[in-house]
Amino acid sequence: MKQLKLTGFLFFFFLTESLTLPTKPQDVDDVSITQKFIEDNIGYITIIAFAQYIQEASFEEVEMLVKAMTEYRDKCLADMTLPECSKLANDVLLENICTMEGLPQKHNFSHCCHKADFERKHCFLHNKKADVGFLPPLPTLDPEEKCQTYKNNRESFLNNYIYEVSRRNPFVFAPTLLTAAARFEEMTKTCCEEQEKANCFRTKSKVMSHICSKQDSISSKIKECCEKKIPERGECIIYSNKDDRPNNLPLREAKFTESENVCEERDADQENFMAEFLYQYSRRHPELSTPELLRIAGVYEDLLRECCNTKNPPDCYRHAENKFNETTEKSLKIVQRECEHFQISGKDDLKYHYLINLTKLAPQLSTEELTFLGKEMVTALTTCCTLSEEFACVDNLVDLVLGELCGINENRSINPAVDHCCKTNFAFRRSCFEGLEADKTYVPPSTSQGLFTFHTDLCQAHNEELQRKKDRFLVNLVKLKPELTRVELQSLLVDFTNVVKKCCQAQGPEACFKEEVLPALFPLKSNWYSWSNKRNQNSP
């Protein structure tokens, strides 16, 4: 296994599903570390994804998919003008899984292959099984046999390790699995050179073992994690509940705001100085989210840059805590406003709010992308707004949704405003989006292009499927008529629901849809409300 650099593959896995391969073969040396990582590690990435999606698949089936994905990579590096080379990496992976002869039927995931885009992806995600009791026990090899297997075929040995661990840990963060594999190889190489191989293997996986051996002094929240097996143990520790702030820890670390020598210490080793500041501030504020802590660090760094160029730096940075509090207060108000909106409006109205907002901000995105992002925003708020750690939870999850949006942006330009926010400092990305208005560069289509042609299948749709169609209707309506206000759009959505009910009770639903819906979407502006009023009068 290649030596994996954390910065590269962590970044890659946040953006994996929105990246394609580089645009020209000769650009390989110039592309981002993320794209380079895809090329170099396509095999490992494929194994993890396939083994987590289809846990029942055999190693031989996984190897077939690795071969197909490697051929795809090589083909696209040779000629990026091929139509298939513009697809997203994850889409290509799922397409290949679905086209493997007999595999969807054998492992019972044909229903996922009948879906497309985000719906297909979500179907595969829901196919994952947390209870892996249906799998045989993890194979174990005698240390001598393990070393001989590694020596004979290193690539196959590591691929098999990644496959076996991934299928048993379908929800473990992929970088954790790759880190575990990298450390496993390092351990294997070291121990296979020792006389006492078994002893060596037993005493290696050090950081998490050290944490668990000192858990009483490190954290009261990791006992259950330390009872888990590797690699679940590391993942569990990373995502365990935050520990309580130590009672004897002062609220402020004087070194960073009250010392006379802050600028000198910063100049001596800026990277370690800022890392220590972030560590000290984070342990004093377990209630804050990761993005908020990074915002505080950014504010402090900017403040020192300004203060250290004044005649009296201590007078300047002595009020840093006020700046930190202002920053947190601003972020807190955003979260409070969003949670209040959720509590007042309810889940459905909140979703429509975000579908309208997101579509106005980025109408260039596909309907599937926008409905997915809208649902993710609602999930973040419904998950977090009833928790005691409301602020950190909302801030963390909403930022992940914006990360999805910016992941799409990595692959193609959306519009100048969104592009700007996605390229801004990660910590301040959310506040940048908060200030955006509807995209003024967007030119809506001149016709509906068949988006509002409805068939009898709409009458067979129930519950979740019907809701999806309503969400799509709303997004397409915003794309067509971006000048309409939120009130007008939501009123038309209610009217549309009533029309569906009326037409599905008619003898000829399609004729009814054509008569009732299409003419209503293209009147003069002044007639929008007349259609709405007409619908309301005819509603049962």
Short-list 260, 505, 467, CA closest to 378:
467
Whether the per-residue pLDDT at 15 is higher than 50: the answer is: no
Tokens 């002094």: give the residue: 217
pLDDT higher than threshold 70 for residue 522: no
Assign 525 a pLDDT band (cuts: 50, 70, 90). very low
Q: Is the pLDDT of residue 125 over 90?
A: no
Taking the C-alpha atoms of residue 361 and residue 354, their distance in angstroms, rounded to an integer, is: 10
The torsion angles phi and psi of 464, rounded to 5 degrees, stand at -60, -40
Rounded mean pLDDT of 121-145?
Answer: 80
CB under 8 Å to 177, separation ≥6 — which residues?
Answer: 48, 162, 165, 166, 169, 231
Provide DSSP, 444-470. Answer: --SS-TTTT---THHHH--HHHHHHHH
Q: CA–CA distance from 84 to each of 89, 93, 114 (Å)?
A: 10, 12, 19
The pair of three-digit structure tokens given for residue 367, joined into one six-digit string:
């309907």
Instruction: State the amino acid at position 126 in one-letter form.
Output: H
What would the mean pLDDT of 24-53 be, rounded to a whole number?
65
The dihedrals phi and psi of 2, each to the nearest 5 degrees, come to -60, 155
Higher-scoring residue by pLDDT: 237, 505 = 505
- Give Cα separations from 7 to 56, 175, 328, 364, 426 (angstroms): 32, 10, 27, 31, 15
Provide mean pLDDT across the span 79-102: 85
Cα gap 214→409, rounded to integer Å: 43
Round the CA-based radius of gyration of the chain to a whole number and report it: 27
pLDDT of residue 60: 93
How many CB atoms are located within 10 Å of the residue 383 CB? 12
> How many angstroms separate the CA atoms of 287 and 396, rounded?
12
pLDDT grade for 424, boundaries at 50, 70 and 90: confident
Report residue 522 CA to chain centroid gap: 37
Least trusted range by pLDDT, from 30-34, 152-156, 217-221? 30-34
Residue with tokens 């645009």, as numbered in its chain: 23
- pLDDT value for 207: 53
Give the whole-angstrom CA distance, residue 221 versus residue 242: 7
Q: Which two tokens stand for residue 267?
A: 């100049």
Find the range with the poorest average confidence among 98-112, 247-261, 266-280, 410-424.
410-424
Count how many residues are written for the chain.
Answer: 540
pLDDT in tens, 254-299: 899 999 999 999 999 988 999 999 989 988 898 888 889 999 999 9
CATH 1.10.246.10 fits 456-523, yes or no: yes
Q: Same CATH topology for 32-205 and 456-523? A: yes
pLDDT at 51: 92
Distance of CA 61 to the CA centre of its chain: 28
Split at pLDDT 50, 70, 90, the class of 201 is confident
User: How far apart (Å, rounded) are the C-alpha atoms in residues 342 and 413?
Assistant: 31
Query: Tens digit of pLDDT for each residue in 304-337?
Result: 999 999 999 999 999 999 999 999 999 999 999 9
Q: Which residue has the higher pLDDT, 181 or 531?
A: 181
User: What letter represents residue 215's amino acid?
Assistant: Q
Q: Is the pLDDT of residue 16 over 50?
A: no
User: Domain 254-328 class?
Assistant: mainly alpha
- Among 34-43, 60-69, 143-152, 498-507, the minimum mean pLDDT is found in 34-43
* Cα(322)–Cα(319) distance, integer angstroms: 6
Between 341 and 535, where is the model more confident?
341
Does residue 470 have a pLDDT over 80?
Answer: yes
Question: Pseudo-torsion of CA 254, 256, 261, 265, nearest 10°?
Answer: 130
Looking at residue 28, what is its pLDDT?
Answer: 36
Tell me: domain 333-435, CATH 1.10.246.10, correct?
yes
3-class SS of residue 61: helix
Higher pLDDT, 387 or 149: 149
Exposed / middle / buried, residue 397 (Cβ in 10 Å: 0-12, 13-18, 19+): middle
For residue 242, give the DSSP letter: P
What proportion of the chain, given as a percentage, has pLDDT over 70? 80
User: Would you kindly state where each structural domain of the chain is located, as residue ranges?
Assistant: 32-205, 207-243, 254-328, 333-435, 456-523
Q: How far apart are CA 20 and CA 35, in angstroms?
A: 8
What pLDDT is recorded for position 520? 61
How large a percentage of the chain has pLDDT more than 90? 26
Q: For residue 239, what are its two tokens?
A: 């995502």
Q: What is the DSSP letter of 85?
A: G
What value does the mean pLDDT of the chain take? 80
Quick one: fold of 32-205?
Serum Albumin; Chain A, Domain 1 (1.10.246)
- Mean pLDDT lowest among 34-43, 246-255, 300-309, 364-373: 34-43
- Tens of pLDDT, residues 217-262: 667 777 777 777 655 666 566 556 667 777 788 888 889 999 999 9
DSSP 133-170: TTSPPPP---HHHHHHHHHH-HHHHHHHHHHHHHHH-T
**pLDDT category of residue 384 using cuts at 50, 70 and 90:** confident
